[in-house]
Structure 1
Amino acid sequence: MRSYDAFLLISFGGPEKREDVIPFLENVTRGRGIPRERLAEVGEHYYLFDGVSPINQQCRDLIAALRDDFAANGVELPIYWGNRNWDPYLEDTVAEMARNGVRRAVALATSAYSNYSSHRQYLEDIERARAAVPEAPEIDLIRPFYDHPGFIDAFVDHTRQALERIPEELRPETRLLYSAHSLPIAMAKKSGDPRRDYGSLTAYEAQLLETARLITERLDRDYPYEIVYQSRSGPPSQPWLEPDINDRLEQLAKEGVRSVVVVPHGFVSDHMEVKYDLDVEARETAEKLGIRLERAAAPGTHPAFVAMVRDLVAERAEGRPPRGLGAIERSCHDDPADCCQRS
């Protein structure tokens, strides 16, 4: 049994005005040798939205929903928020928690899967922030939650809504494309717990496939579905997980597919990579090909997702076995030292 005196939301962060875009991208890519021209190219994605990434406001909205949910269910934990790459920075938030007398906090990162950037790197962020703050609180990071009922139920609801926007005559043949952030294959092979057997797939791929299966089988019809990837950013010489969603749309058009619903199941909110890579790029590709494309919303502040966070806090505090709908053996629950290492 663990006793916590605060809840901490940890996220990626994003700019909120045009002049912050390039400094933010420099933070994200620091140490990776990304050319300035590439940063400027990616910056254009943000300028389409006047330099404002949706992710910070989405964190504020989630915090507001969590405060209401905690209050309604007797969870008396103050809520803090810190980012990896932009204000409010995690180190500043940990310093604030220390000033306020917080001794032990439970933290949730806004990513559901177990790979380096979405799990292990957040553990490293926490330790780096704590090392910089005298008398920093202990911080326990909640496990990956890709198959938790609240995560699945939110996507089921949003996918149904997207399907309803497909014309009725096209709905029976609609293909579901489950989209997630691509990773370098070398990094994907380091995802999950190396003591687990994921067959021919990496842990990340296996978890994405399991989440897609769990969502699809709860829909009203047996829709064909598959996994696609988005947001690749590495050099062409480096192999990444495929297929890219735009390439797959080209293939599906040749196969005669006329309608798709894209489900961004690799994400917890409709942040920039969803808004640009899917709502701009993929939609333009689909329109060019004559494919009707609808996108399901990510969980965001869906009541099932908000309730999931409260359940995960209780799970960690009470030491309960992890709750999940999937068949994959649980990984990274207790943050083993060799889980999700950098490639």
Structure 2
Amino acid sequence: MQLTQAAAARFAAGLAALWPEDERSGPLGLAVSGGPDSIALLLLAHAALPGQIAVCSIDHGLREAAAGEVALVERIARERGIPFTALSVKVGPGNVQARARAARYAALAEWAQEAALGAVATAHHADDQAETVLMRLNRGSGLAGLAAVRARTQIEDSDISLLRPLLGWRKAELAALVSSAGIVPAQDPSNTDITFDRARLRQHMADADWLDPAALATSAAHLAEAWQALAWYAELDWHEMVMRCDNADGTASYAYCANVPRLIGIETIRAIIAALGGHASRAEASRAWDRLWAGHNASLGGVLGVPGVERVEKVGVQMRVWRFGAEPARGTIN
């Protein structure tokens, strides 16, 4: 059974909002696991973009059934004349779901580059988004975390655009599309394994009929817009209030006129640390901000921040100026 024209048009409109036609430089790659959500993504994209998609399915080597799921996706793609690629990844020890996610996205980025794809899409939907928001609220996440799954971003350590065109769709809608096509999707047992936080939350949400996943997903979209605005201001802060200094020994340091709200300053501190070759999480940068604001030195990511007050010529007034440079080696006496 063919998808309805209304469903295909809805998907095409949502995709165009994320990925305008004049920005497209190659086919759309689809990450398809064999579950109902990702098969629905395949069916919708095939209806909306015939001849302009490619499909990839990844075996993480964690379950015996995974090879069969990859084969299912291959059959569905081949029946529709869609280019298909099967990949295998190795998942390192530690947090299995986090490691699998990192390995998966690294493999997708490599595939996209080799296949000259214009972007990659995944099947995250409104119910996934609602779960993510609630999990992060429960963990005390800040604005960046509460913005949850972004509709458009980039795969980490690559320039590949990552799209989530199904964030406005409910899981039940997607399952119905797959069922109407006569396809029996795979079911990943980890989705109901309550040893995983997400599966446990999903179970509780099913019993809380007063929760509206679509409304939670909408709130996440609003938070993402707020985060985008904050990130824009932080970029402006970097360009306007951070000055690079070239030291006599050939190294660089930075002077930061810290005169913005704390959330923005945290992002600027992270940018300074990165410019000096280090790395700092938002939690680490927030602790550094608090120390510097209180008049204490802050050390993080191999960088030392020293607070002070100086007259800033460009504005002609005394300002809080924090100077950042490579942290001296331990035992160094000034």
What's the TM-score, normalizing by structure 1?
Answer: 0.29
| Structure (1/2) with the larger strand percentage | 2
Structure whose residues are more often helix by fraction: 2
TM superposition score normalised by structure 2:
0.30
The structure whose Rg is larger is 2
